[in-house]
Amino acid sequence: MPKKKKILFHSNSSRAYTGFGKNCRNILHYLHSTGKYEIVEFGNGFSWSNPVFKSLPWKGYGSLPDDQALLQKLNSDPNLARSAGYGANMIDRVIQEEKPDVYIGAEDIWAFNGYTKRGWWNKTNCMIWTTLDSLPLLPDAVNSASDIKNYYVWASFAEKALHEAGHTHAKTLHGSVDCSKYSRFSDEQKAQLRQHHGIPQNAYIIGFVFRNQLRKSVPNLLDGFSQFLRQEPRANARLLLHTHWGEGWDIPRLLQEKNIDPSLVLTTYFCNKCSSYEIRPFSGQGLQCRACGNKSLNTTNTQHGVSESQLNEIYNLMNVYCHPFTSGGQELPIQEAKLTELITLVTDYSCGKDSCSPQSGGFPLDWAEYREPGTQFIKATTHASSIANNLKKVFNMNPSKRRKIEKKARQYVLDNYTPEIIGGKLEEIIDSLPEIDWDFDFSFKPRNPQYSPPEIEGDSEWIIDLYKNILLCDVDEHDEGHKHWMHRLKTDMNRESVLQYFKDVAQKENSENNKQDFGDLFDKTENKKALMVCNADLGAVFSCTSLLEDFSKKYKDVDLYFACPPPLFPLLDGNPFVKKVLPYLPEMEDELMMIGRNAHKGYVDYYINLSRNFLKNISVLAPQ
């Protein structure tokens, strides 16, 4: 009997009330049902040994370390905390312990920052299944594409953009939606549901299911709703916002600002004691639950939210679904709404393009471009007039025509988004991947910069030989790196220059992985030690020297060691405030290694990284 492939699926935990979490749950249940694979879940946002994983039908680990002291140190730096939440600290451990045949990372692209440079990358089969939501594409998504052999995105607009950037191996694989949980109720059931929640039977309910993030265009929707109220008073309209009112947009303030009657805006309250829910106007948090009497009623959120069967009921309270946003990776609520046979109004940008076409049972919302500060991403601000006009269009539509479009909306999702459709495609991808013969030995194997290739006539075979014998990598003609060098040989480089590049890379990797005993770098004294790290250019290191005198005055009995690139050592020659100048090494970026953690006592008492946040937010961290 052939060995089952072991799949390591890295995403939001399957227990999380998020789009990634739902997709993880759907896909892993499908793959598990085939009986073909050994499945391991690596769930973001949970601790490594969280007992929640014991209840799963497959093995599971969390992305965060169990060590509370280490967590406390990580959380002191927002950047470290964010990367730790995505699994940066524990990914090597789970790879080494589980030895997967296939690694699948299903998250935002920045969750995998630096992964393609890790020792195990592409030694096992690696696949990234990510959401890209804006143009121009995030540079990391483009720059890393050549190293991602199996590159999948959730929306077709992202595939198109990657192809235009030259990465034609990228493909679209939508996130999955559990279609068995969502369906249209009968008119009688809908009437009973409205009666239960005290909602007028003749009210025209416009729904929006969303995480209350600033990229969800709540102000635009409220403006469009306000216009619709004035233009169609006979609709007796209500706006149902299924979201958490304790984060993101200050919705009560917006309602007041826009002069909208708060009683016309409904929301979902969830009881974390008895798991019941209520639909009512917002009136604060911690309300008394009608079902159990506890003051445990809060607006729904990612930690405590309705079940999918309850969410199906909420969709069935709606007459139309409206989803304005600045950008998005897929926006699963749009597909869920379609499954309950709702016409969906969606901003015609980013992933919205897949959901507002005539064949999808949706209508496009017009928008104007603006640029996000800093990133300069193109973002959409949805026209309130387009929201109001499309609401009127659906409200005044011939009932038979409306039902035809509503049925088309459901069928579109059944044809394109079910776990069976998406899981089946993923199954084909997994089965097509080659067997793994890597021994999962994480020790660094020295590269061979002295290698001289034999006479090989074909450029393709010559490049493969360089990878194998200099960088110790096995590639073929389909590898993106191989394609890159074939192109360079045909355009601007010759064999001699390519060979020299490979040798330089080999020397660099050998140098970076040469084990260094940091204890030998510091003088053997009883004095406390501080390490300043500045991996920067001449101007930056020179500017940093202006801080040294102040540091010396503040920490009079501390020996200061300054690490920078060796060519810049003359800038520190004779500086009376520096005990010793050290050559910069990449390991010095690891603050926890330098100061110490767990049984490792560290090398210094104080640590300042000036290359990470140059002259900004400079802090001196004392050991805890």
Q: 210 with 347, same domain?
A: yes
pLDDT at 394: 98
Residue 229 is part of a domain; what is its CATH number? Answer: 3.40.50.2000
Q: Is residue 407 part of a domain?
A: yes
pTM beyond 0.75, yes or no: no
Domain range spanning residue 593? 519-609
Q: Is residue 616 part of a domain?
A: no
pLDDT at 566: 80
Q: 376 with 479, same domain?
A: no
Whether the predicted pLDDT of 517 surpasses 70: no
Whether the predicted pLDDT of 618 surpasses 70: no
Q: 558 with 501, same domain?
A: no
Give me the DSSP letters along 406-437. HHHHHHHHHHHT-HHHHHHHHHHHHHHSPPP-
Mean pLDDT, residues 350-378 taken together: 95
Indicate the pLDDT class of residue 588, thresholds 50, 70 and 90.
confident
Q: Is residue 605 part of a domain?
A: yes
Q: Is residue 71 part of a domain?
A: yes
Q: Is residue 443 part of a domain?
A: no
Q: Is residue 540 part of a domain?
A: yes
Q: 255 with 394, same domain?
A: yes
Whether the predicted pLDDT of 623 surpasses 80: no
Checking DSSP bridges between strand 277-281 and strand 265-271, what pairing results, if any? antiparallel
What digits encode the pLDDT tens for the residues 457-515?
999 999 999 989 998 877 778 776 788 899 999 999 999 999 999 998 888 878 777 65
Domain end (from 512, 527, 550): 512
Q: 148 with 36, same domain?
A: yes
Distance CA 370, CA 56 (A): 44
Q: 172 with 183, same domain?
A: no
pLDDT at 612: 53
Q: 190 with 211, same domain?
A: yes
Q: Is residue 444 part of a domain?
A: no
Domain end (from 494, 512, 530): 512
What digits encode the pLDDT tens for the residues 127-180?
999 999 999 998 889 989 999 999 999 999 999 999 999 999 999 999 999 999
Mean pLDDT of the chain: 91
Mean pLDDT, residues 279-295 taken together: 96
Q: 359 with 397, same domain?
A: yes
Residues 193, 202 contacting (CB under 8 angstroms):
no
pLDDT at 598: 62
Indicate the pLDDT class of residue 586, thresholds 50, 70 and 90.
confident
Residue 152 is part of a domain; what is its CATH number? Answer: 3.40.50.11930
Q: Is residue 437 part of a domain?
A: no
Distance CA 469, CA 461 (A): 12
Domain count, the chain: 4
pLDDT at 621: 36
Indicate the pLDDT class of residue 599, thresholds 50, 70 and 90.
low
Q: 240 with 382, same domain?
A: yes
Q: 367 with 344, same domain?
A: yes
Q: 466 with 321, same domain?
A: no
Cβ neighbors of 491 (< 8 A, separation 6 or more) are none
Question: What angle is formed at CA 260 by the lines to CA 332 and CA 380, rounded to 5 degrees?
Answer: 40
Nearest Cα to Cα of residue 343 among 402, 400, 301: 402
Give me the DSSP letters along 81-106. HHHHHTTTTTHHHHHHHH--SEEEEE
Q: 259 with 356, same domain?
A: yes
